[in-house]
Amino acid sequence: MVAYYYLAMDKVFKALADETRRQLLDRLHADNGQTLGQLCEHLAMTRQAVTKHLVLLEEANLVATVRRGREKLHYLNPVPIHEIAERWIGKFERHRLQALSDLKRNLESSDE
Amino acid sequence: MNKPSFVYVTYIRSTPEKVWDAITDIKISGQYWGGGCHRNVSDWKAGSKWEHQRNDESGVADVVGTVIESKRPGRLVITWAAPSEAADPEKTSRVVFEIEPHKDDVVRLTVTHSELEPGSDMLRGISSGWPLVLSSLKSFLETGKVVPK
């Protein structure tokens, strides 16, 4: 139980510890359900390199895929990130943390 | 068919039957869904209605729909709408639960939500709702603990 849990969490942190993979997640967050071709469009990388990153993201369960006809669509799966947050954020902290991040966002955007 | 709006996957140390029952049983769903605030009610036969009810005496339904396909423990397909919009096909979306053995004693649960109306409140609610429900479900089945709302 414990080993399985930590192994899964290791994969998530390793997958997130890379700028390109975070970029891929950002792109799916902005537009969920993209093909490999669509994901490659704005990245200065070969298809093979992007495929490798997507495989790591899928193994970490951060990306889920669905077949639609001949296409394979990639979806952001935030469930493991949610589990990580649940682990360290206490029951009564959530609202205070939300208030802090709203404050930060407001102050930072008013500088512009 | 339009592409799905969301696809959520979680791996749970459990059996497909237990995962199915946790989603469909009025008493079990009422223990973890939304921190125990909601429960799912239906006889889960194809063609039957189902309701996502508040877990109190009022039993008010916040989501309603029809069971389209029901094959315990592997596949459940339902429609999903706010009660006030249930008559409007444009505002009715579709949820597929797929429960399959992964390896050893781990089950893979995939929730696919499609045909959501772009820009709707339902779409916004869904995108923060499912990850919470799925991690609560996982934690409930694996540890018996409920993730607080």
Instruction: For chain B, state the CA radius of gyration.
Output: 15
For A4, the token pair is: 């399985």
> Is A101 a residue whose pLDDT tops 90?
no
Residue A18 is which amino acid?
D
CB contact under 8 A, B112 and A68: no
| DSSP code string of B76-134 | EEEEEB-GGGTT-GGG-EEEEEEEEEEETTEEEEEEEEE-PPTT-HHHHHHHHHHHHHH
Give the per-residue pLDDT at A102. 84
A77 reaches B (C-beta below 8 A): yes
- CB-CB contact of B137 with B22 (8 Å): yes
pLDDT tens for B78-131 read 999 999 999 899 899 999 999 999 988 999 999 999 999 888 888 888 777 898
Q: Are B77 and B65 spatial neighbours (Cβ–Cβ below 8 Å)?
A: no
SS3 assignment, position A15: helix
Provide, as residue numbers in chain A, all residues whose Cβ is less than 8 Å from the Cβ of B8.
Answer: 64, 77-79
DSSP string, B13-51: ES-HHHHHHHHH-HHHHHHHGGGGTEEEE----TT-EEE
Give the mean pLDDT of chain B: 91
- Does pLDDT of B4 surpass 60? yes
Average confidence (pLDDT) over B48-73? 95
- Residue pair A24/A50 in contact (Cβ under 8 Å)? The answer is yes
Q: SS3 for A69? A: coil
Angstrom distance (rounded) from CA A111 to CA B105: 53
Q: Do B9 and A82 touch (CB under 8 A)?
A: no
A31–chain B Cβ distance below 8 A for any pair: no
Question: Average of pLDDT values for A54-63?
Answer: 96
What integer pLDDT is reported at residue A91 of this predicted model?
66
Q: List the single residue in B5, B7, B142 with the smallest CB-CB distance to A77.
A: B7
Question: Which of B2, B7, B138 best probes binding to A when mutated, by most A CB atoms within 10 angstroms?
Answer: B7
* Smallest Cα distance from A97 to chain B, Å: 15
How far apart are the CA of B111 and the nearest CA of chain A, in angstroms? 10
- Report CA dihedral (B47, B49, B50, B53) to the nearest 10 degrees: 180
Q: How far apart are CA B16 and CA B101, in angstroms?
A: 7
Give residue B148's pLDDT band: very low, low, confident or very high (50, 70, 90).
low
Contacts of B142 in chain A (CB under 8 A): 1
Give the sign of the dihedral formed by CA B126, CA B132, CA B135, CA B139: negative
Contact B7 A68 (CB under 8 A): no
CA distance A73 to chain B (A): 8
